[in-house]
Structure 1
Amino acid sequence: MEHYVIQRLGQHGDGIANGPVYAPGALPGETVTGTLDGDRLRDIRIVTPSDNRVKPPCSHARSCGGCQLQHASDAFVSDWKKDVVRQALAAQGIAIDLNDPITSPALSRRRASFSVRRTKKGAMAGFHMKASDTIIPVPNCQLLHPDLTAALPMVETLGALGASRKGEVSVMLTGSDLGLDVAVTGGKDMDLDLHQALAELARTHDLARISWNGEIALQRRAPVLRIGAAEVTPPPGAFLQATKEGETALIEAVKQALTQPKSVVDLFAGCGTFALPMAEHAPVHAVEGDRDMTNALDQAWRNAKGLKRITHEARDLFRNPLIAEELNKFDAAVIDPPRAGAAAQVAELAKSTVSRIAHVSCNPATFARDTATLLRAGYDLEWVRVVDQFRWSTHVELVALLRRNN
């Protein structure tokens, strides 16, 4: 049987040998064997293990597709994620020193989406197997906050109540300060019997809110999340930072980038992850494409004490970015786009007089592309902070300070 020496780790966490040949679960420097299926190895056996190989801390690691790097040491993962950012920047001709990632601890995920399918005896809830539609129960998951793990039986009950016999539903759980917020998508149509069953389920498990296919089915109390001095009730299924520790690291980096601003524009503001903390120091104009999120942000600001004024605007920044003349009203900007980046909005920032930009990103490649646009326009990249909010995954986040030079 042919032996393969793993040369590097790919962006999806697979080991890569010459060819290229992809070996899931292998690490650089290891010699492996397996059955070649196209360009991928199956039935892999590690002949010579790497010094960076560790025993996965989770009992579900071999089957669950939720994590890609539990078999690698923390030090290796930290260095690899730094290198992912370094290579993305180098591809745009940018070089800068990077910190060791700030990594969220185990058992800290406060938000997760579970797949649920009905069975003959009830329902099964969990995550998908690696590269499969098969659902794996994850009662011992080492990522999830214990509040979410304890709710898995409730999630299975939801599936039994509301999933079709052939379909799969998605149940998003978010831990709030006042109980779990539950958002179900893909469920059968709501009727009186289902609504009554959900009400009983909410009472039994002391749930804060249940939404069903995008609509609030019942709310026993508002699911509240504290961001800085404010309390936010996000709309059902709204984007939130996955861990409190990751959110704190990102906020602190943004605050460090934008010390003592006179006025701030927050682009892709969501429910106010950065707008609310920055309003402790300066007026903020928050722009977000989802009106429900801007409404939640506005309500949180109005109920908070001691914050500067936050104005808000529901606007599609991909199709209708703030133009330079609008941006010139502000001396500082936060931009936190989705994975696709924000080429159109960054092009307008590049033409603006905004003096400092805190650039937050969950995709090093689009971050590097957009940063290169700003550098060509006369900004300097002063520092980049790497944040590993999604422990044991291939995802990496970062915050950077760009300052317009004189």
Structure 2
Amino acid sequence: MAEQVTIKRLGAKGDGIAEGGSGPVFVPKVLPGETVTIERDGSHARLVSVDVASPERETPFCPYFDECGGCATQHMKHGFYQAWKHDTLVHTLRQARIEAPIEPLIDAHGDGRRRVTLHVRFPDRAMHVGFMAPRSHQIVEIAFCPIAEPGLKEQAPAIARAVGEHLKGPRKPLDIQITATQTGFDVDVRGYGPLKDPDRLRLIDLAANLDLSRLSIHGDVIVERRPPAVVMGRAAVVPPAGSFLQATKLGEETLAGFVTEACARAKRVADLFAGTGPFSLRLAEKADVHAVEFDKGSMVALDKAVRATPGLRRVTTEARDLFRRPLLTPELNAFDAVVLDPPRVGAEAQVKQLAVSKVPLVVSVSCDGATFARDAAILIGSGYRLERVIPVDQFKHSPHLEVVGILRRDVVKKRR
């Protein structure tokens, strides 16, 4: 049944919140002060119409915005959007009882997302290719994605559809990750399972027809026609198939700029949760670096990039699960600075070791404000000062936000 409500405020995920008789109701793609008609589904609702619009509303630039779950904020005017993202981070830190100066939001969208993951599903006789609708497994079919890099905008859906056609026999749900690299598109398919030899041969032919740099299934490389290189500082890295990569080129460059600036005086740096080395490779231009990452393939890729790049200082690598085996205090004390860039769950175990160490500088890079605040609070409680908090918006048009925090403390050197 449809009903009319007034939106009171926005939540951290960008949904509007209206007060209902049985509690708050979350409505997507609305703004505070708007009167809207909705259809409830428990504590969530489907937007039927905007009856009284906010002056901060604008027309979304993507024709799929109303149905697609990929973007959440295209209906917000730019100034309102930036203020909302900034204020959300302020609120998150205050909840953790952290008072620190938060710098203006930095737009790091650049040319757009350099990686997209499209879904191929077979709910009926037809094949459906696109993104998922909000809070649903229903596929919204798309011909292009306007927030992707120019080369990916239209080609990514076409590539996903071609791969789906080749693998549609078992009608398994497929997730197709497509990354733009210096040498072409790198495609990794998830969900299919082991391939038979005829399937492999057909995919090798498809990769040639589509001029892909690399094609893999669950990280198993079917064919690599050209190494899919990604430039990081002076180096060119060939990441393992399907491995982590910052969302945009400008986002990576912006984050790395703050990391290297903070560590400018450090002679020895530990880069923890290092991935394939977007920070390590840039830090190594002036400092010795020890890079630690759970994924062995990423460490091999980083090591190869270091060996192929002249002029870098010493870089050592270690494949290690920092959630189960964080670097301990004696190991940490060998470094002038520690850089953290953990997954969304944060780095609580590692931060607890840092809290009792003598490391004078910690640079925390996080894609989740809540876990950033939790980890920063632990370090602040042990004597670190949170000198800078820098929000970096590389996930534009979504509620996600990168945060860079620079924490220092005085370390008294023992006299000899």
TM range (shorter): over 0.9
User: What is residue 128 of structure 1 aligned with on the other side?
Assistant: 132
Cα distance in 2 for partners of 1:332, 1:164 equals 52
What is residue 115 of structure 2 aligned with on the other side?
A: 111
Amino acid at match of 2:292: V
Q: Which moved more, 1:11-20 or 1:62-71?
A: 11-20
Structure 1 partner of 2:8? 7
CA contact (8 A) 1:106 1:142 kept: no
Aligned-partner residue type, residue 306 of structure 2: W
User: Equivalent residues in 2 for 1:1-400 (5 A)?
Assistant: 3-18=4-19, 19-105=23-109, 108-118=112-122, 123-148=127-152, 149-400=154-405
Q: Deviations over 1:371-404 (max 9, x none)?
A: 0110111110000110111110010111111001
Query: 1:97-125 deviations in whole A, cap 9, x for unaligned?
Result: 22222223475111111101258887432
Instruction: Determine the C-alpha separation between the residues in 2 that align with 1:397 and 1:155.
Output: 28
Counterparts of 1:310 and 1:27 in 2: how far apart (Å)? 49
Q: Distance in 1 between matches of 2:242 and 2:144?
A: 24
**SS of 2:386's equivalent?**
strand
CA distance in 1, matches of 2:183, 2:392: 27
Q: Structure 1 residues 104 and 60, CA, compared in 2 at 3 Å: closer, same or farther?
A: farther
- Do the aligned residues in 2 keep the contact of 1:343 with 1:370 (CA within 8 Å)? yes
- RMSD of equivalent CA atoms: 1.7
Does structure 2 retain, via aligned residues, the 8 Å contact 1:375–1:381? Answer: yes
The whole-number CA distance in structure 2 between the counterparts of 1:319 and 1:84 is: 31
Q: Say if 2:36 and 2:47, in contact at 8 Å, map to a contact too.
A: no
Q: 1:203 to 1:36 in 2, by over 3 A?
A: closer
Cα distance change on mapping 1:38 and 1:60 into 2, 3 Å: same
- CA offsets 1:22-64 (integer angstroms, 9 cap, x no match): 1221111212232333223334322221111110010110111
Whether the 8 Å CA contact 2:7–2:31 is kept in 1: the answer is yes
Which residue identity is paired with 2:103? N
Q: Write the deviation string for residues 330-362 of structure 1: whole angstroms up to 9, x where unpaired.
A: 011100011111111000011111111110000
Task: Pick which of 213-222 and 340-349 moved more.
Answer: 213-222
Paired amino acid for 1:139: A
AA aligned opposite 2:309: A
How far is the alpha carbon of 1:132 from its aligned partner? 1.8
**CA deviations over 1:318-340 (Å, ceiling 9, x no partner):** 00000011000001110001111
- Aligned partner of 1:399: which letter? V
Q: Aligned partners of 1:262 and 1:291: how far apart in 2? A: 25
Residues 111 and 248, structure 2, Cα contact 8 Å, conserved in 1 = no
Pairwise CA distance, 1:137: 2.1
For 2:110 and 2:267, locate their aligned partners in 1 and report how far apart those are by CA, in whole Å.
38
8 Å contact 1:265–1:285 — kept in the other structure? yes
Decide which moves more: 204-213 or 327-336: 204-213
**Do the aligned partners of 1:7 and 1:28 also contact (CA within 8 Å) in 2?**
yes
TM-score by length of 1: 0.96
State the shift of 1:310 in Å: 0.4
- Deviations along 1:243-297, one digit per CA (max 9) or x if unpaired, are 1011111111111221221110001001001111000010000010111111111
Instruction: Check whether the contact 1:106–1:144 (CA below 8 A) recurs between aligned residues.
Output: no
Is the 1:380–1:405 contact (alpha carbons within 8 Å) kept by the matching residues of 2?
no
Verify the 8 A CA contact 2:109 2:395 in the aligned structure 1: no
State the identity as a percent.
Answer: 43
SS across alignment from 1:20:
strand
Rounded to whole Å, the distance in 2 between the matches of 1:191 and 1:328 is 51
One-letter amino acid of the counterpart of residue 348, structure 1? Q
Q: How many residues align?
A: 406
8 Å contact from structure 2 (residues 101, 387) kept in 1: no
> 2:7–2:32: 8 Å Cα contact kept in structure 1?
yes
| Aligned-pair CA distance for 1:188 | 4.5
- 3-state SS, counterpart of residue 273 of structure 1: coil
User: Any idea what SS the aligned residue of 2:8 has?
Assistant: strand
Call closer, same or farther: CA 1:116–1:107 in 2, change over 3 Å: farther
Gaps of 5+ in 1: none
TM-superposed deviation, 1:157: 1.4
Task: Tell me if the contact between 1:195 and 1:217 (Cα under 8 Å) persists in the aligned partners.
Answer: yes
Q: Is 1-10 or 347-356 further displaced after alignment?
A: 1-10
CA–CA distance in 1 between the matches of 2:193 and 2:375?
Answer: 42
Q: Report the Cα distance in structure 2 between the residues aligned to 1:352 and 1:117, rounded to whole angstroms.
A: 50
Determine if contact 1:118/1:165 at 8 Å carries over to the other structure. Answer: no
Q: What TM-score comes out, normalization by structure 2 length?
A: 0.94
Distance 1:302 1:122 in 2: 49
